Amino acid sequence: MGVMKVIEILSSSDVSWEEATRKGVAEASKTLKHIRSVYVQDQSAVVNEDGKVTEFRVNLKLTFEIK
């Protein structure tokens, strides 16, 4: 195992926290290589005036290896 680095990113989805996580990892993988894990640090949601959830948000910690 080499040197690992952890960064924090934010992501959102109008479908679910799981999709927000997948979208965050997919977007990060466009510029980061060797992603090894993701930790969901925090979850939140936006609720509209009708009491319906309109957006799911996640605060992620990504671990990747530095080569």
**pLDDT tens-digit readout, 6-65:** 999 999 999 999 999 999 999 999 999 999 999 999 999 999 999 999 999 999 999 999
Domain spans, the chain: 3-56
Check residue 2 and give its pLDDT: 83
> What's the CATH code, domain 3-56?
3.30.1660
Nearest residue to 26 (alpha-carbon basis) of 65, 62, 59: 62
Give the global pTM. Answer: 0.89
67: pLDDT confidence band, cut at 50, 70 and 90?
Answer: confident
> Starting from the edge strand earliest in sequence, which strands make up the sheet with 53-66, in order?
3-13, 53-66, 35-47
Q: Which residues pair with 57 in a beta bridge?
A: 12, 44
